[in-house]
C-alpha cells in the first residue's frame, strides 16, 4: 500500500501475463467536486511494463485501456478509508468524495475483461466493462426488466437478444460493473443498450457505447435478422438526444403496426385462392425448399430470419413457390409477424393476404390475442388486409464519421 496525493493512485498489481499498450493520451480529471481539484495535464506512462510485480499509475479519467490476458489481481479502491468488499465481480471502485487513501488487492483468475475508466456524473469516476456469458442471464434479465423503455417486454426475450447469433455473426454482450448497464453488439449493429434507471446520467451508457464502437458498431438497433426494435422510439427524446450528442444522426424512419387477432381458424385462413395452394412447411425437404426460394428471391438475410420462424407457410402457383410468410422468427413469444413476401411477378393476386391470414391464425391458435407487424412501410396493405393500425414509430440512427 502506498499513499499518494492528488488525483492519481499508485496501485501494486501482480501480473501473470499482460499486454499493456502505450497509454498515448494525456491524463485528465474534470471532476469539479474533487477536493484535490483538476489534475495537471501530463503525457504519461512508460511504454513497457515488466511481468511480475509492478507499480501501475491509474489516472482518474484515463480513457485508454489495459487488457489483461490471463491473470491479474483485482482491485478494490476506497477513498474514505475503508476497504471495499472483495467480491467476485472484479470491480475497480473509487469514491469521488475524498482523496484516495486505501488500496486492497486480492488474487483471482480473470478471463477476458476490459477495464474502461470513465469520468461521469457526481459520485461516479471509474467503471469497468466485462464480457457476459449465459451464466449471467438471470441478472441480465432482471436488469432489462428495470431498464427497458421500449413498448415490448425485453426481459421476456433476453436470451434471444443477448446470446442468439445474428446474420453478421455471434453477439457480444457487455456488462458495466455490477449489472448497472448492458449492451449487445453484432457486427456493425448495436442491438441493444440498457442502463438501470437508478444509474443513468452517471456515464454508464457512454462507457457502454464507447465499448461497442470499439468493436465497429455504428448503427443503433435496425439489425436485419435479429432485432428487438427497428430503431429508437420516436417519442423517446432522451435516448435520441443521447445518441445525437455522440455523433449519431437519423438516416430513416419506420413503424410497427398492431392487429387484434381475427376469429379465424388456420383451416379457414389458408383456403386457397383460385388454383393457388398454401402449404405449411414444417420440416425436412419442404422447409428447405421454401428457404431456398426465400434466398433466391429476397436474399440471405431474409432466409436467415425466416429459418427461425415457428411455422413457415408458402403459397404455390402453377406448381412453383410464389410467396411465403412466417412468425415468431424474431422476439419469439411476443407475437411478431414476418418476414413475408411474394414474388414480384405474382403480386396483386391476393397471395400476400392469404399468407398473412394464415400466420395470424396460427399465432391466434397458439394463444396470442395481438400480433405485431414490425418494420414496415406497407401501412395501407395491412390496414385493408387485417385491420392493422399504427402502433409505434422508430428512428434509425447511424454514427456519422467526422
The model's pLDDT over 72-96, given as tens digits with 9 standing for 90+, comes to 333 333 333 333 333 433 333 333 3
Let me know if domain 262-368 sits in CATH 3.30.1160.10.
Answer: no
Sign of CA dihedral 141, 142, 147, 153: positive
Extents of the domains making up the chain: 1-124, 132-253+393-402, 262-368
CATH topology of domain 132-253+393-402: Aminopeptidase (3.40.630)
Burial class of residue 246 (count of CB atoms within 10 Å of its CB; 0-12, 13-18, 19+):
middle
Burial class of residue 98 (count of CB atoms within 10 Å of its CB; 0-12, 13-18, 19+):
middle
Decide if 132-253+393-402 and 262-368 have a common fold: yes
Phi-psi region for residue 82, left (φ > 0), alpha (ψ -120 to 50) or beta? beta
Sign of CA dihedral 13, 18, 24, 30: negative
**Per-residue pLDDT band at 319 (split at 50, 70, 90):** confident
pLDDT digits (tens, 9 = 90+) for 140-199: 999 999 999 999 999 999 999 999 999 999 999 999 989 999 999 999 999 999 999 999
| Cβ–Cβ under 8 Å, residues 94 and 125 | yes
Residue 51 φ/ψ, nearest 5 degrees = -70, 155
Question: Residues with Cβ < 8 Å from 178, sequence gap 6 or more?
Answer: 89, 91
pLDDT digits (tens, 9 = 90+) for 357-373: 999 999 999 999 999 99
**Per-residue pLDDT band at 16 (split at 50, 70, 90):** very low
Amino acid at each position: 500500500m502506498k499513499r499518494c496525493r492528488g488525483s492519481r493512485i499508485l496501485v501494486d498489481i501482480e501480473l501473470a501475463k499482460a499486454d499493456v499498450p502505450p497509454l498515448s493520451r494525456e491524463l485528465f480529471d474534470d471532476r469539479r467536486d474533487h477536493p484535490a481539484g483538476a489534475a495537471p495535464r501530463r503525457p504519461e506512462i512508460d511504454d513497457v511494463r515488466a511481468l511480475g510485480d509492478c507499480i501501475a499509475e491509474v489516472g482518474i479519467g484515463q480513457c485508454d485501456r489495459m487488457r489483461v490476458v490471463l491473470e491479474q489481481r483485482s482491485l478494490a479502491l476506497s477513498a474514505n478509508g475503508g476497504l471495499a468488499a472483495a467480491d467476485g465481480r472484479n470491480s475497480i471502485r473509487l469514491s469521488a468524495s475524498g482523496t484516495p487513501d486505501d488500496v486492497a488487492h486480492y488474487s483471482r483468475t480473470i478471463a477476458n475483461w476490459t477495464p474502461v475508466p470513465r469520468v461521469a456524473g457526481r459520485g461516479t469516476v471509474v467503471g469497468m466493462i466485462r464480457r457476459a456469458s449465459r451464466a449471467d442471464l438471470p441478472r441480465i434479465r432482471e436488469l432489462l426488466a428495470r431498464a427497458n423503455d421500449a413498448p415490448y417486454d425485453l426481459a421476456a426475450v433476453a436470451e434471444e437478444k443477448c446470446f442468439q447469433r445474428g446474420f453478421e455473426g455471434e453477439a457480444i454482450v457487455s456488462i458495466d460493473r455490477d449489472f448497472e448497464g448492458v449492451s449487445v453488439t453484432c457486427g456493425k449493429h448495436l442491438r441493444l443498450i440498457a442502463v438501470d434507471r437508478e444509474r443513468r446520467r452517471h456515464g454508464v451508457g457512454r462507457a457502454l457505447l464507447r465499448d461497442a464502437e470499439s468493436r465497429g458498431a455504428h448503427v443503433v438497433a435496425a439489425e436485419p435478422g435479429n432485432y428487438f426494435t427497428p430503431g429508437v422510439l420516436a417519442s423517446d427524446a432522451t435516448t435520441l438526444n443521447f445518441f445525437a450528442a455522440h455523433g449519431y444522426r437519423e438516416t430513416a424512419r419506420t413503424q410497427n403496426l398492431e392487429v387484434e387477432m381475427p376469429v379465424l381458424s388456420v383451416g379457414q385462413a389458408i383456403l386457397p385462392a383460385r388454383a393457388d395452394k398454401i402449404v405449411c412447411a414444417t420440416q425436412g425437404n419442404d422447409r428447405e425448399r421454401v428457404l431456398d426460394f426465400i434466398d433466391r428471391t429476397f436474399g440471405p438475410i431474409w432466409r436467415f430470419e425466416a429459418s427461425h420462424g415457428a411455422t413457415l407457410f408458402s403459397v404455390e402457383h402453377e406448381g412453383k413457390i410464389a410467396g411465403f410468410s412466417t412468425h415468431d422468427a424474431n422476439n419469439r413469444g411476443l407475437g411478431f409477424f414476418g418476414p413475408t413476401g411474394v414474388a414480384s411477378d405474382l403480386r396483386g393476386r391476393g397471395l400476400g393476404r392469404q399468407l398473412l391470414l394464415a400466420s395470424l391464425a396460427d399465432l391466434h391458435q397458439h394463444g396470442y390475442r395481438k400480433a405485431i407487424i414490425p418494420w414496415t412501410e406497407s401501412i395501407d396493405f395491412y390496414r385493408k388486409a387485417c385491420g392493422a393500425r399504427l402502433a409505434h414509430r422508430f428512428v434509425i440512427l447511424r454514427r456519422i464519421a467526422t
